[in-house]
Amino acid sequence: MNSEVLNTLYIQTQGVYLRLEGDTLRIEHEDVTLRNVPLHHLGGLALFGNVLVSPYLLHRCAQDGLEVTWFSESGRFQGRLAGPVSGNVLLRQAQYRALDNPSSSLYLAQRFVEGKLKNARLVLQRAVRERGETEALALALYEHEAALRQLPQARSLDEVRGLEGGAASAYFAAFGDLLLSGEFRFDGRNKRPPRDPVNALLSFVYALLTTQCTAALEGVGLDPQAGFLHALRPGRHALALDLLEEFRAWWADRLALSLLNRKQLAPEHFEVRPGGAVLLNEEGRKAVIVAFQTRRLETVQHPLFKEPVPVGLLPHIQARLLARYLRGDLPQYLPFVGR
Amino acid sequence: MDELDDIFPEIVPAPSQPQEPLPLSALAQYTYCPRRAALILLEGEWEDNEFTLRGTRAHENVDIPQGLLREGVWVERALPLWSERLGLTGRADVVEFVEGVPYPVEYKVSKRWPRELARKAAEVQLCAQALCLEEMFGQSVMEGALFSKSSQRRRVVQFTPELRAATLATISALRKLLQQERLPPPAADERCKHCSLLGVCMPEVPQALRAWRNQQWS
């Protein structure tokens, strides 16, 4: 499962060996050459888990300013190759400049919210198609349409956050109607700690996805803490949370719903503590992680690319598009919107 | 609790204001040293709330010493606690339920801290746990205990109006600390001797810098 997106080679096959052969990168697995890629084609390497790289290839990457980034097999950021000179400082400078500039901050916050609203609308529309309209679903769809119309006119971050908040509360008011199994109920979002199984599941999937978004931003050299939509707070990965907004409904909520509706999760996967906190137990966490990893490997169509891309690479693609926008290389940032 | 709202109206947050919950453990850190609390929160313990909820499960394996188990007492370990009213979240090491009444037991923070301060810090943290338990179970929680691992002994703590007031004051001070961007000044006293953050904090440097400057002028 290796793919090339935006000149970055993503290696996810375990036990692969990468080496330098002239001006070519050779991908080997158990002494068989899988592929040869001319180095001048590449802007970077993203390596997941047990991928070996020859020292000479690493030297060459450092010399040529090719980004090499290591992730765990499940996608957590581990580290990055720092060559003699790197463009990262300019990228981070551009990121902080955009953060200081009210109009570019507003622009990016609008894009993240646009992605969130459009993807949430998809989830709601699908539910209406599949099992009919309920009052809450109709209201939530109406709120999303209204927010999407008003979003381009928003003049401040607070206005953008207000539109997002209004749509989100209508969304969660309707979310219970998306549950098919009578075993679970949903009466609104709560967290820290979650107080019912559905909220426990949502918190866990959001946490998994947040690490993916953080890793993707780290991977392209962006500061995951310097976000535009989310307020800056020490230790908070505000930009990762910004990026997460594009994927919450389309990836996390749909995954949670299908686990519940297909009865892959049952009440015995949850632990209810005295006082009312609810957590996934070990079996439950295992089931969610397996489903999450499976989803990462499925491919989908990205609106900007002809080739289907693995779902797990979507945050990486969005991070790279964001970096390109911030460096002035792209005139727009396009949030990911599924189908 | 209601009487206290009248005494300290200014430090009870308005319920309409949604706010990020404070980690209970930070209250003890703040009582010990505000700068230490600031360093810890700035270094990322803060962000992990959602993750630590499952991560801190390791805590559940804390063995309960024999002396702690008593007849007719239901014991919960690593119990998630929260208060919507005060904006708190965290876990209790142990909560005993004595005839249905929650009774928090906190393992003593660190035997290396100066004794008096460590006691104060642990009491504030324990009292904050009691405030959460009162809200979660709708019952008055008047008493809890601190347990010292080294001596295998427990000391009863009464949640007096004074301790409750001190706890509420600590919550609001911690909230203020997180809103300001500067670190509080270093303690530069006996507390620093055993502080794990000594290297990051550099408590002696401001003093040394002053001395150096004076030397340059003279």
- If chain A, 339 residues long, is cut into consecutive pieces of 10 residues, what is the mean pLDDT of each piece? 69 90 92 90 84 94 82 76 70 95 96 97 94 93 97 95 95 94 89 93 90 86 93 85 96 96 94 91 86 89 88 92 92 93
CA B115 to chain A, closest CA, distance in angstroms equals: 31
What local confidence, expressed as pLDDT, does residue A165 receive?
94
What local confidence, expressed as pLDDT, does residue A73 receive?
78
What local confidence, expressed as pLDDT, does residue B170 receive?
96
Would you say residue A154 lies in a domain?
A: yes
Expressed as residue numbers, the domain containing A219 is 91-327
Interface touch B50/A276, C-beta < 8 Å: no
Ligand-binding site membership of A59 (annotated): no
Average pLDDT, chain A: 90
Tell me: do A14 and A140 sit in the same domain: no
Domain end point (choices A51, A68, A86): A86
What's the rounded Cα separation, in Å, for the pair A245 and A239? 10
Interface touch B47/A280, C-beta < 8 Å: no
Residues 230 through 249 of chain A touching chain B, CB cutoff 8 Å: 233-237
Q: Which residues contact A85 (CB under 8 A, 6 or more apart)?
A: A65
Instruction: List the single residue in A with minimal CA-CA distance to B20.
Output: A192
What local confidence, expressed as pLDDT, does residue B201 receive?
83
Domain end point (choices A86, A103, A138): A86
In chain A, alpha helices (H): 55-64, 88-100, 102-131, 135-150, 157-175, 197-220, 238-247, 254-261, 282-297, 314-326
Would you say residue A219 lies in a domain?
A: yes
What local confidence, expressed as pLDDT, does residue B89 receive?
94
pLDDT tens by residue, A16-34: 999 999 999 999 998 899 9
Considering chain A, what percentage of its residues have pLDDT values greater than 90? 65
- If chain B, 218 residues long, is cut into consecutive pieces of 10 residues, what is the mean pLDDT of each piece? 36 45 91 89 51 41 49 85 95 90 83 78 96 96 89 90 97 88 85 80 86 84
What local confidence, expressed as pLDDT, does residue B198 receive?
80
A268 C-beta neighbours (distance < 10 Å), count: 9
Chain A residue numbers with beta carbons less than 8 Å from the beta carbon of B51 are 207
- Segment A312-316 long-range contacts (CB within 8 Å, at least 24 positions apart): A312/A12, A312/A75, A312/A212, A313/A3, A313/A5, A313/A10, A314/A247, A314/A251, A315/A212, A315/A213, A315/A215, A315/A216, A315/A243, A315/A247, A316/A5, A316/A8, A316/A10, A316/A46, A316/A216, A316/A219, A316/A220
What local confidence, expressed as pLDDT, does residue A175 receive?
95
Domain harbouring A323, CATH code? 1.20.120.920
Enumerate domains of chain B plus CATH numbers. Answer: 2-217 (3.90.320)
From the list A274, A280, A285, the residue facing B76 with the nearest CB is A274
The model's pTM = 0.80
Would you say residue A335 lies in a domain?
A: no
Tell me: do A127 and A73 sit in the same domain: no
Ligand-binding site membership of A41 (annotated): no
For chain A, what is the domain count?
Answer: 2
Query: Which residues partner with A11 through β-bridges?
Result: A2, A47
Instruction: List the single residue in B with minimal CA-CA distance to A211.
Output: B51
Would you say residue A338 lies in a domain?
A: no
Chain A residue numbers with beta carbons less than 8 Å from the beta carbon of B20 are 233
Average pLDDT, chain B: 78
Tell me: do A66 and A132 sit in the same domain: no
Tell me: do A253 and A201 sit in the same domain: yes
Interface touch A233/B46, C-beta < 8 Å: yes
Complex ipTM value:
0.72
What local confidence, expressed as pLDDT, does residue B163 receive?
97
pLDDT tens by residue, A182-215: 889 999 999 889 999 999 999 989 988 988 898 8
CA B80 to chain A, closest CA, distance in angstroms equals: 6
Report the Cα B23 to chain-centroid distance in Å: 8
Tell me: do A43 and A114 sit in the same domain: no
Domain end point (choices A19, A54, A86): A86
Domain harbouring A13, CATH code? 3.100.10.20
